[in-house]
Structure 1
Amino acid sequence: METKDRSIELNLLKTARGQIDGIIKMLENDRYCIDISKQILAVQALLKKTNLEILKKHMNSCVKDAFEKGNGEDKIDEIMLVLDKYYR
């Protein structure tokens, strides 16, 4: 398996981390609950986007390699477990 460029995922997670720090400050400063909730939803969206990027790269590398070697079904099962949790 080749080394993957993780810059997209890292940037998304760093942005989410910055937003989480902002949410903590909002809570400490007793900001309006709806504003806090909106920021939490924004972080959740970033985390979902990051996870989809990771899964996409996983499918284009690990899953592809496994199918080329004839054992891709296990990788499909792994992805299905993740997606099952994702959609709950």
Structure 2
Amino acid sequence: MEQEKIKHRDAKEVKNMISRLNRIEGQVRGVRKMVEEERYCVDILVQVQAIQAALNGFNKMLLSEHIHSCVVNNIRAGNDECVDELCETIKKLMK
């Protein structure tokens, strides 16, 4: 059984990630309210696109941090398998 991987983040990084996620969560709640209020479809779709853009921004930030820390550290330690993991992750993100 593979050991669960963890990533220690500094307080600034965690704060930034939580802040972004809180904004996304608020956007999702806003869309739910729009549905409950029977708002026009196009207005809801525009807000959903904004949520998708925010999630993409979160993914870009997290992927960049992952490459600069986890991937670099693994390669320096001789663990080249992390490159295959990174490639698979990018494939999943690009679906």
Q: Common fold, TM-score beyond 0.5? A: yes
Q: Contact 1:9 / 1:50 at 8 angstroms: preserved in 2?
A: yes
| Separation of aligned partners in 1, 2:60 and 2:85 | 14
Q: Contact 1:66 / 1:75 at 8 angstroms: preserved in 2?
A: yes
Query: Among residues 68, 84, 90, which one is paired with 1:77 in the alignment?
Result: 84
| Separation of aligned partners in 1, 2:75 and 2:33 | 47
Q: How does 1:1-88 map to 2 (within 5 A)?
A: 3-4=9-10, 5-71=13-79, 73-88=80-95
Q: Contact 1:2 / 1:61 at 8 angstroms: preserved in 2?
A: no
Q: After the TM superposition, which parts of structure 1 deviate over 4 Å for at least 4 consecutive aligned residues?
A: none
Task: State the percentage of identical aligned residues.
Answer: 32
Q: What is the deviation of 1:41?
A: 0.5
The size of the alignment, in residue pairs, is 87
| Separation of aligned partners in 1, 2:40 and 2:61 | 32
Q: What is the deviation of 1:82?
A: 1.5
Which deviates more, 32-41 or 49-58?
49-58
Select the structure with the greater relative contact order (CA < 8 A; seq sep ≥ 6).
Answer: 1
Q: Structure 2 length as normaliser, TM-score?
A: 0.83
Q: What is the deviation of 1:7?
A: 2.1
| Separation of aligned partners in 1, 2:78 and 2:51 | 38
